[in-house]
Amino acid sequence: MILSCGEALIDWVPMGEGYRPCPGGSPYNIAIALGRLETAVGFLGKISTDFFGEMLVNNLINNQVDTRYIIRANGLTTLGIVSLPSQYQEPQFLFYANDSVDRNLTITELPAQFPPEVKVLHFGSISLVLEPGATALEQLMQRESGHRLISLDPNIRPNIITDKIAYSQRLENWLKSVDIIRVSVADLNWLYPKVNPETIIEQWLNLGPNLGILTLGSQGAKAYTRAGVTVWALAPAIQVVDTVGAGDSFLAAVLAYLDEQNILTTRTQLMNVSANQLTACLNYANHAAAINCLRVGTDPARKSELV
C-alpha cells in the first residue's frame, strides 16, 4: 500500500461566472488518482465532520482509497480558491485555513506504527507548511524513513510561505529522509530563481533521494537517479482545458507504475531502476497528466483510460 499523508480540502474551481466546490489538496488528489489507477492506497489526514468533510471522505471511499488512517474532528474544512490565468499557466490558489481541522493534526493522533503492507509514505504541499500539522508530518516522515520508502512533492504555494529561506532550509532537511522527490520547474524557479533547475536536482540527490523527477509542463518530464541515469519524456500534444491537479495525477501515475513493476518493494530496487523503466514510467505519467488536463479541475485518469 501507498499511504498519502497531508491535507484534504475543498477547491473552489472557476466555472462560468461562478465557482464549483471540488474535493482537493495535493496528497488527497494523489490518493484519489492512485485509487483510480487500481493501486493499493490509503489516505492519512485529519478531516472535518462538516458536510465538506463528508464529501471528502465519501469521494475517497468511492475511489477505492483505504480510510482507516483518517482522523475525524469537529471544525472547519480548509478552502482553496483557484485562479486560472490561462489554460497553459500554473493555477494560483488562495487558502482559507485559519484553525481548520486538517492543519491541526498532532503527532499523538498519528499511528505509532504501520503494518508491513504500507510500503510507501507520500508527503507534500501545504500540509508541510501550516502548523501544527506540518511538524507532526515532518516527525512522521523522519520516524518512518529507513523503514519504508518516502515520497515527497513540495507542490509549493508561495502565498502561504512567509519566509522563503527558512522554507528552503526545511525542505533540504526533509530530503535527508526522502527516496523519491518530484518537483515542478515552476517550484524551482520560485525557490531558486537564478539557478538551473537541473543543477538543483543534482544537488538534492546528494542529500538523500535516489530518484528525482522534474516536471516541465508542456515539455514533459525528466527523471534523474543518484546512480547517474537521466531520461526525458515529452508530454502528448493536447488542447488543455486547465492544469489543476496535473502534477498530482502525474506523480500518482509514477508511483502506480513503479509499484506495478515491483520497483517500490525495496530501496535497492529503486536504486537500480533502469533508463528503459524510467522512460516507460514517465510516458505513462505524462499520459495520465494529459488526460487530467483535458477536464475541468482535478479529475485523474482511470487505469482503463491508460491502456
pLDDT per residue over 62-107, tens digit each? 999 999 999 999 999 999 998 877 666 677 889 999 999 999 999 9
- Residue 66 is given by DSSP the state B
pLDDT per residue over 79-89, tens digit each? 999 887 766 66
- The percent of residues in the chain predicted with pLDDT above 90, rounded, is 89
First to last CA, the chain: 22
pLDDT per residue over 15-34, tens digit each? 888 899 999 999 999 999 99
Q: What is the arithmetic mean of pLDDT over 147-176? A: 97
Decide: 72 and 49 in contact? Cβ < 8 Å: yes
Q: What pLDDT sits at residue 16?
A: 83
pLDDT per residue over 264-293, tens digit each? 999 999 999 999 999 999 999 999 999 999
- The percent of residues in the chain predicted with pLDDT above 70, rounded, is 99
Number of domains the chain contains: 1
How many CB atoms are located within 10 Å of the residue 131 CB?
A: 10
Residue 111 lies in domain? 2-305
- Residue 226 is given by DSSP the state T
pLDDT band per the 50, 70, 90 thresholds, residue 152 = very high
Q: What pLDDT sits at residue 17?
A: 85
Dihedral sign from CA coordinates of 158, 159, 165, 168: negative
Q: What pLDDT sits at residue 270?
A: 96
Q: What is the arithmetic mean of pLDDT over 157-169? A: 95
Mean pLDDT for the chain?
A: 95
Decide: 27 and 6 in contact? Cβ < 8 Å: yes
Decide: 135 and 164 in contact? Cβ < 8 Å: no
pLDDT band per the 50, 70, 90 thresholds, residue 299 = very high
Q: Dihedral of the CA atoms 254, 260, 264, 265 (nearest 10)?
A: 180
How many CB atoms are located within 10 Å of the residue 48 CB?
A: 23
pLDDT per residue over 195-235, tens digit each? 999 999 999 999 999 999 999 998 999 999 999 999 999 99
Decide: 201 and 175 in contact? Cβ < 8 Å: no
Residue 153: name the closest of 123, 121, 177 by CA.
123
Angle between helices 164-174 and 133-144 (to 10 degrees): 30
Q: What is the arithmetic mean of pLDDT over 179-189? A: 97
In CATH, what number is assigned to the domain containing residue 137?
A: 3.40.1190.20
Residue 224: name the closest of 237, 206, 247 by CA.
206
Q: What pLDDT sits at residue 84?
A: 76
CA gap 201, 178 in Å, rounded: 13
Cα distances (Å, whole numbers) of residue 133 to 101, 138, 140, 145, 237? 10, 8, 11, 18, 39
pLDDT band per the 50, 70, 90 thresholds, residue 172 = very high
Residue 132, preceding bond cis, omega within 30 degrees? yes
C-alpha cell at 71: 482522523
Degrees to nearest 5, angle at CA 31 with 305 and 146: 120
Question: Which residues are CB-neighbours of 17 under 8 A, at least 6 positions away?
Answer: none
Q: What pLDDT sits at residue 91?
A: 79
